[in-house]
Amino acid sequence: MDSRIEMSKSPPPEDTGAGAKVVVVHKEPQSEEVQLLVSALEQMNYHCAVFTSGEEALAHCEPSLLGAAVVSLDLTAPSSIELGQKLKERAGKQAFLPVIAFGDRHRIEAEVEGFAGACDDFVATPVSPKEFLVRVAALIARQQVQADLVNLNAELEREQERRRTLAALIVHDLRNPLSAIVGNVQLLEEALEDTANPMAGQCLTDLSELSSRTLSMVAGLLDVEEFEGGLLQASPEHIDVHKFVGRMPTFYKTATAARKLSLDVSCPVGLQARFDRQLIGRILENLLDNAVRYAPRKGQVALSVFADGADLIVEVGNNGPAIPEAERERMFERYYRLEGRRKGARANRGLGLYFCRLAAVAHRGSISVTERPALPACFVLRLPDSVLDEHAKANPPADDLSVSAPV
């Protein structure tokens, strides 16, 4: 009796058990052992096809449409191992085609290590139909889970591509008007260079800086997408950290003066390190922006940079309310919004802190939130193995050596 049936090209049924297509390969399809397996499968409404050799099975069925393959250990040219490998290869790398080997128990125990990557389960003869059906059903269910995961992953990739495209469109639409604003502000600075009103000149200078930074932040939308996709990498260079940090207060003169804040900056003279100038600069800008925004009126904002062995530590904080424990980790998530509104400031949301974490990770570093005695809200950036100055590694500055630079 030739119990082969034509393997349909239609997709397998949605049901993960009954109705799936199962191939049985054995030298003697008429044997009681094979008939027992086929009968058990067909009683559960599986569609069976029996072949006498691996070559015949490969020639007459489409592995990508199979629910499972049951192969005898007695096969030769190809062997059960070779057949299992070929079936899985033809099913596709992302697909899971269950292959069950059956045969003498002693042979299974002797050869089981050689079946890695070719067979997913083993059934010793004489076969227990109930046990066999349970194993087949479990493997077919696993196959469906794998298929669902592959489909979900494909959808996520499509969604990421749509998101990247949207970010690119937003950046393109915002970049032109922002560039025009920067250009016009610079023209006004030149036109009013000799004005007798120093406040107007200072406001234009600040406006020029802020508009340039806004343009950089818009470009940061694309950076976030590239970071997430693993496309954007840090490009470390040798940095004089004291000079680098010393430029930061320049951008906050107007904001700190308007709210009567003090901005204290501490960094050892001569401290040298390696990091990406642009990425770390944007981290500091984001942290200082938040610190100034949330500081209480007439309050204190502090920026401290020092070496901890070979690690560079950057701390930015203010003397405003502490950040709740429940929000300290979540606030670095994409588009997360602080639940509590700080007194005198609008709750923040967006990509700022999310970008900070991505940029820190790009340096194999970390960023977190903690509390200091004078700074209840303090962000800590750690850049491992980045300090170049041996003296700074051996002699980290004490707190009382900090230089206060109120703005």
pLDDT at 11: 43
Integer Cα distance of 385 and 311 in angstroms: 5
Written as six digits, the tokens of 316 are 């930015």
Task: For the sheet with 99-104, list strands across it.
Answer: 47-51, 21-25, 68-72, 99-104, 121-125
Q: Is the pLDDT of residue 191 over 50?
A: yes
More confident residue, 93 or 119: 119
pLDDT at 200: 73
**Domains recognised in the chain with CATH numbers:** 21-127 (3.40.50.2300), 153-231 (1.10.287), 233-401 (3.30.565.10)
Q: Rounded to the nearest 5°, which phi and psi values hold at 147?
A: -60, -40
pLDDT at 364: 93
Q: In the predicted model, what is the mean pLDDT of the chain? A: 79
Q: What is the mean pLDDT of residues 6-15?
A: 42
pLDDT at 343: 42
Read off the pLDDT band of 332 (50, 70, 90). Answer: confident
Lowest-confidence pick of 99-103, 129-133, 294-298, 343-347: 343-347
Q: Is the pLDDT of residue 101 over 80?
A: yes
More confident residue, 297 or 172: 297
pTM over 0.85: no
